[in-house]
């Protein structure tokens, strides 16, 4: 514990010889971590900063986490390598964006139609076995998988209206690697630009839109100001993101700080759950920035059918991927069978 000069002198005056005879207590230096999130500063203020602020306030002089936003220390695509090397201590990202070299990378971000609602994500990880699989896969490469949570659904937000699958042809879209791989069969052209450059790319028409988020995030980061249309059909009910850390750094922490960090990150997942859920409905009904369009259900069913074929394609790539796909398949079948309120169609 840190002892100030004033406090020491007071103790000595009151405690006399007993105080002077007590063994010396040496101040411990504060543990400092650097965590980089995939999100830029405006979005990071919602999806990362509250949890880090909470941890720092509780941990106090014992430990502090310095938060960095997208690309501030390393490009997002290099996040995993930097964390694995120990250049940075922790990361908030999906597996896909940070180019994780694991068998589960393809499922990070938006795996098409794996979830319908945001609550599906914590249910899948905490109750259907995904936590154990992620933990094992990351331990193999020297990384601690701390926890998973859900973000917003994935929609097309574009500069021109989309009312049919034909309108997707040739659309240059900023999206996640796996989502881009899936959507390319419908004529979408995935384009990669740094996250912080997306708004400019939309303004200059380097890209026609994004399939990166829902309507909440589009407003929060300014993309709703430089686009005009929002497609209500989505390719996933929730983004799957995680907190990770370098395994050696994690093991060096005393158990109570591991528990505190896990708890604060779980609180972050809960916060995003209601922040996005409320925002998606409120902005669809109250905001005038984006015009809502829809592709008819019968036509959109083509995309859902293609997603199940995509699942099988992924499952054929490895035993671990097949295990994850089986969980998605069985979970969604259970939700369909359970009916309302778990599934409405």
The answer on pLDDT for 22 being more than 70 is no
> What are 180-231's pLDDT values in tens digits?
999 999 999 999 998 889 999 999 999 999 999 999 999 999 999 999 999 9
Q: Any idea which residue has 């980061």 for tokens?
A: 221
Instruction: Give me 38's structure tokens.
Output: 């995939």
Q: What's the whole-number mean pLDDT along residues 84-88?
A: 96
The answer on pLDDT for 15 being more than 90 is no
* Distance between CA atoms of residues 132 and 313, nearest Å: 23
Longest CA–CA separation in the chain, Å = 87
Mean pLDDT score across all residues of the chain: 92
- Provide the 3-class DSSP secondary structure of residue 190: strand
- Provide the 3-class DSSP secondary structure of residue 135: helix
Which percentage of the chain shows pLDDT scores above 90?
90
> What are 269-311's pLDDT values in tens digits?
999 999 999 999 999 999 999 999 999 999 999 999 999 999 9
Tell me if the domain spanning 154-238+287-317 has CATH number 3.30.70.1150. no
Q: What's the whole-number mean pLDDT along residues 68-90?
A: 96
31-151+239-280 and 154-238+287-317: identical CATH topology: yes
Model pLDDT, residue 344 = 82
Residue 74: phi, psi to the nearest 5? Answer: -140, 155
Instruction: Give me 268's structure tokens.
Output: 């972050």
Residue 153 · residue 211 · CB < 8 Å: no
Model pLDDT, residue 202 = 98
* Distance between CA atoms of residues 47 and 151, nearest Å: 9
Model pLDDT, residue 3 = 37
> What are 112-135's pLDDT values in tens digits?
999 999 999 999 999 999 999 999
Model pLDDT, residue 18 = 40
Residue 151 · residue 272 · CB < 8 Å: yes
CATH number of the 31-151+239-280 domain: 3.40.190.170
- Helices 255-286 and 49-59: crossing angle in degrees, nearest 10, is 150
Burial class (CB in 10 A: 0-12, 13-18, 19+), 121: buried
> What are 250-260's pLDDT values in tens digits?
999 999 999 99
Model pLDDT, residue 28 = 74
Residues 6+ apart with CB under 8 A from 294: 163, 231, 232, 233
Domain extents for the chain? 31-151+239-280, 154-238+287-317
* Distance between CA atoms of residues 80 and 128, nearest Å: 26
Instruction: Give me 327's structure tokens.
Output: 């969980």
Model pLDDT, residue 1 = 37
Model pLDDT, residue 12 = 42
Other C-beta atoms lying within 10 Å of the C-beta of residue 255: 7
């Amino acid at each position: 514990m840190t002892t100030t000069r004033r406090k020491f002198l007071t103790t000595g005056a009151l405690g006399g010889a007993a105080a002077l005879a007590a063994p010396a207590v040496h101040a411990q230096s504060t543990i400092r971590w650097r965590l980089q999130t995939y999100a830029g500063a405006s979005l990071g203020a919602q999806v990362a900063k509250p949890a880090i602020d909470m941890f720092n306030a509780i941990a106090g002089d014992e430990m502090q986490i310095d938060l960095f936003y997208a690309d501030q220390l390393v490009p997002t695509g290099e996040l995993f390598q930097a964390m694995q090397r120990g250049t940075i201590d922790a990361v908030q990202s999906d597996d896909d964006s940070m180019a994780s070299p694991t068998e589960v990378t393809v499922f990070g971000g938006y795996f098409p139609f794996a979830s319908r609602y945001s609550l599906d994500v914590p249910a899948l990880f905490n109750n259907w076995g995904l936590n154990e699989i992620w933990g094992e896969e990351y331990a193999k490469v020297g990384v601690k998988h701390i926890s998973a949570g859900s973000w917003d659904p994935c929609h097309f937000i574009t500069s021109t209206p989309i009312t049919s699958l034909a309108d997707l042809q040739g659309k240059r879209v900023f999206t996640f690697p796996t989502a881009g791989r899936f959507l390319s069969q419908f004529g979408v052209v995935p384009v990669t630009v740094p996250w912080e450059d997306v708004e400019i790319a939309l303004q200059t028409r380097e890209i026609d839109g994004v399939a990166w988020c829902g309507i909440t995030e589009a407003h929060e980061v300014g993309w709703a100001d430089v686009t005009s249309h929002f497609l209500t059909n989505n390719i996933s009910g929730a983004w799957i993101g995680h907190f990770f850390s370098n395994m050696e750094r994690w093991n060096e922490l005393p158990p109570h700080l591991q528990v505190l960090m896990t708890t604060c990150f779980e609180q972050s997942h809960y916060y995003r759950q209601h922040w996005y859920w409320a925002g998606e409905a409120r902005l669809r009904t109250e905001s005038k920035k984006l015009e809502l369009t829809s592709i008819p259900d019968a036509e959109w069913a083509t995309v859902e059918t293609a997603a199940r074929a995509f699942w099988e394609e992924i499952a054929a790539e490895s035993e671990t991927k097949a295990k994850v796909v089986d969980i998605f398949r069985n979970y969604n079948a259970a939700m369909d069978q359970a009916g309302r309120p778990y599934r409405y169609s």
